[in-house]
């Protein structure tokens, strides 16, 4: 035990004395969260829209005002006829058009009114986002009206399919905070461990460690424990930044989230050890973990690009990436507030992955040169 503790103490010294490592460990998570939060956000504010109102009654005016005052839209044009729609879109000034058919208020009070939301699909991402914003606002409006006019007076409105039920305003943070977490934990756990073990090989110190009475498992655990602790600290930083700076909700159990993080870190750490058993020096370890882990984690796990819109082959490849399973877990716990009952498949798959990689890396870790 004393051996093991000495090893961990030594490992912490390595980390704390290397500025580059420290920067990656603590600078990266903060920088990434803030970057993704402020720069790469797909949140849209003050988009120009046009309104074509055939009813011009109290309700349409109220709804138009609600749209305009949401902060997301700015009513650039009030159109007079359908003919003006096309030129308005063509000019590129407006991103979305809202069309109210005649007799809106009357229909709404009776068997339902319709509202048409037309997006500029030449920029599909923006269009989807804006339509979802507008949809949410319209829904909200309907709810308010229904509540005000009693149970039977509900408005009926046209709705595009809303898949963003839990993120009605499609806040960027809801997507990138879990994403950054999967990425950072993978980076810290897998990349850093693989590099640190490869460094012992490169510096020749592994030779001395192997001749010592330390067992391979002790070396591996001694190498990984500090990174496990630091990864946990990182996870906390990312979650806190998400909540405090970007207003992420934390609807589920924090304990469950911590447990799942720990599980994911185990997967990442065992992957890192596995890589290090294959890599002879730090450069190789870096390339292997960079190309083999970080790229797929970023691109295929659904962090940046939705997995649903990927070709089938890439979806299958995405399935073997731990992040693809961890990402929904974080989203589920933080945003939807679900418990283990909804996440057990993901959890079991991550657990199996951890087991496989741990066995593989222990088998591959030679206690000779």
Partner 1 sequence: MSAVISIREISKSYGELKALHDTSFQVEEGAVFGLIGPDGAGKTTLFRILATLILPDTGQATIGGLDVVKDYRKLRLKLGYMPGRFSLYQDLTVEENLGFFASVFGTTIRKNYDLIAPIYSQIEPFKSRRAGALSGGMKQKLALCCALIHRPEVLLLDEPGTGVDPVSRQEFWEMLATLKNEGITILVSTPNMDEAALCNKVALIQHGKILAEDQPEGIIQSFKNPLWAVRSENMYQLIKDLRMYDGAADCYAFGEYARLKLHPAPVELTTGDNASGQRQTEAAIKTYLQQKNHQKIEMFPAKATIEDCFIDLVSA
Residue numbers at the binding site for partner 1 (CB under 8 A): 2-3, 5-7, 9-10, 13-14, 17-18, 203-205, 207-214, 368-369
Quick one: which of 110, 112, 158 has its CA closest to 135?
158
Q: How far is CA 79 from CA 53, 104, 133, in A?
A: 7, 17, 21
Q: How far is the CB of 364 from partner 1 (least distance, A)?
A: 17
Q: How far is the CB of 202 from partner 1 (least distance, A)?
A: 10
Query: Closer CB to partner 1, residue 14 or residue 54?
Result: 14
Q: How far is CA 359 from CA 8, 40, 267, 365, in A?
A: 22, 39, 11, 10
Displacement of CA 276 from its chain's centroid (Å)? 28
* Token pair recorded at residue 72: 């997301």
Query: Closer CB to partner 1, residue 2 or residue 311?
Result: 2
Q: How far is the CB of 272 from partner 1 (least distance, A)?
A: 20
Query: Closer CB to partner 1, residue 255 or residue 369?
Result: 369
Q: How far is the CB of 284 from partner 1 (least distance, A)?
A: 19
Name the region of 260 (left: φ>0; alpha: ψ -120 to 50; beta: rest): alpha
Query: Closer CB to partner 1, residue 82 or residue 207?
Result: 207
E-assigned strands of 29-176? 47-53, 73-79, 96-100, 116-119
Sign of the torsion formed by the C-alpha atoms of 262, 264, 269 and 274: positive
Query: Closer CB to partner 1, residue 58 or residue 208?
Result: 208
Q: How far is the CB of 245 from partner 1 (least distance, A)?
A: 34
Q: How far is the CB of 232 from partner 1 (least distance, A)?
A: 24
Sign of the torsion formed by the C-alpha atoms of 67, 68, 69 and 71: positive
**C-alpha span between 155 and 151 (Å, rounded):** 11
Query: Closer CB to partner 1, residue 8 or residue 250?
Result: 8
């Amino acid at each position: 035990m004393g051996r093991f503790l000495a090893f961990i103490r030594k490992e912490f010294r390595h980390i704390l004395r290397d500025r580059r490592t420290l920067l990656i460990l603590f600078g990266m998570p903060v920088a990434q969260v803030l970057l993704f939060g402020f720069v790469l956000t797909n949140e849209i504010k003050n988009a120009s829209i046009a309104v074509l109102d055939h009813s011009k009654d109290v309700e349409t005016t109220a709804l138009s005002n609600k749209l305009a005052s949401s902060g997301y839209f700015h009513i650039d044009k009030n159109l007079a006829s359908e003919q003006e729609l096309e030129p308005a879109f063509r000019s590129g000034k407006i991103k979305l058009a809202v069309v109210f058919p005649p007799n809106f208020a009357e229909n709404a009070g009776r068997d339902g009114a319709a509202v048409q939301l037309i997006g500029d699909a030449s920029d599909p991402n923006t269009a989807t986002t804006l339509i979802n914003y507008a949809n949410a606002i319209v829904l909200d409006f309907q709810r308010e009206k229904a509540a005000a006019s009693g149970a039977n007076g509900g408005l009926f409105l046209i709705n595009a399919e809303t898949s963003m039920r839990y993120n009605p305003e499609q806040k960027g943070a809801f997507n990138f905070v879990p994403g950054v977490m999967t990425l950072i934990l993978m980076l810290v756990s897998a990349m850093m461990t693989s590099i640190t073990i490869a460094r012992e090989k490169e510096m020749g110190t592994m030779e001395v460690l192997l001749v010592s009475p330390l067992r391979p498992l002790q070396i591996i655990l001694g190498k990984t424990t500090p990174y496990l602790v630091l990864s946990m600290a990182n996870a906390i930083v990312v979650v806190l930044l998400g909540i405090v700076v970007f207003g992420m909700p934390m609807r589920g159990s924090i304990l469950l989230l911590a447990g799942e993080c720990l599980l994911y870190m185990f997967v990442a750490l065992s992957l890192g050890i596995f890589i290090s058993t294959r890599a002879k020096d730090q450069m190789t370890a870096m390339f292997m973990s960079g190309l083999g882990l970080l790229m797929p984690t970023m691109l295929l796990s659904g962090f940046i690009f939705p997995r649903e819109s990927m070709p089938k082959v890439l979806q299958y490849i995405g399935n073997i990436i731990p992040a693809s399973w961890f990402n929904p877990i974080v989203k589920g716990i933080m945003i939807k507030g679900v418990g283990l009952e909804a996440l057990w498949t993901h959890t079991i798959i991550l657990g199996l992955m951890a087991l496989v990689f741990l066995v593989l890396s222990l088998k591959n870790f030679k206690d000779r040169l």
